[in-house]
Amino acid sequence: MLKGIPKILSPELLKVLCEMGHSDRLVIADGNFPAETMGKNAIVIRMDGHGTCEILEAILQLFPLDTYVEHPVNLMQVMPGDPVETPVWESYKEIVKKADERGAEAVGEIERFAFYEQAKTAYAIIATGESALYANIMLQKGVV
Catalytic residue annotation? 22, 66, 116
Amino acid making up residue 107: V
Q: Are 61 and 99 in contact (CB under 8 A)?
A: yes
Q: What angle do CA 33, 20, 60 make, to 5 degrees?
A: 70
Query: DSSP character for 68?
Result: S
How many C-beta atoms lie closer than 10 Å to residue 104's C-beta? 14
Sheet holding 137-140, edge to edge: 43-47, 124-128, 25-29, 137-140, 73-76, 107-110
